[in-house]
Amino acid sequence: MKRRSASRRALPASRRWLAAALCLAIGSAVAAALAAGDAGVLGLAPALAIALLVCRRRYPGASLLVAMRSRALRRPARRGLSPLTAAARVLTVAPRGGLLLACSLAVRPPPGALPAR
């Protein structure tokens, strides 16, 4: 609610002249460039489009970006393996060959972390 009221605040009077002067300057420049046949003025279109959007307090995709950011924050950072885990990784392998046969034939299978020989 607070955010909503904040976003609806009117432009302060001290800045209105600035906005008006800027609009006038840009408008005159664009008009003069068009009158002079300068197609390069079309390059200003993206800036004007984005400006129009945010001036109307539209923030397309903002909630999606916030969600992506929080997802990225929640994702645990990849860190280097601790020495213990690294050692376990080296030693623990899936049974193969004779060990695989033995495992499958065993009445009670050996523990998963059986060290390889």
Nearer CB in complex with other proteins: 7/104? 7
- Three-class secondary structure of residue 65 per DSSP: helix
Coil, helix or strand for 85?
helix
Does 72 participate in binding other proteins (rule CB under 8 A)?
yes
Joined tokens for residue 44 = 């200003």
- Name the β-bridge partners of 100: none
Q: Does 76 bind other proteins (CB under 8 A)?
A: no
Does residue 35 touch other proteins according to CB under 8 A? yes
> Contact with other proteins (CB under 8 A): which of 25, 86, 91, 100?
25
**Alpha-helical segments (H) within 1-91:** 2-7, 13-35, 45-55, 62-74, 83-91
Question: Which residue, 50 or 87, is less far from other proteins as judged by CB?
Answer: 50
CA dist., res. 114 & res. 92, Å (int) = 6
Place of tokens 């279109």: 45
Q: Which residues bind other proteins (CB under 8 A)?
A: 2-3, 6-7, 9, 11-12, 15, 18-19, 21-22, 25, 29, 32-33, 35-36, 38-47, 50-51, 53-55, 57, 59, 61-63, 65-66, 68-70, 72-73, 77-78
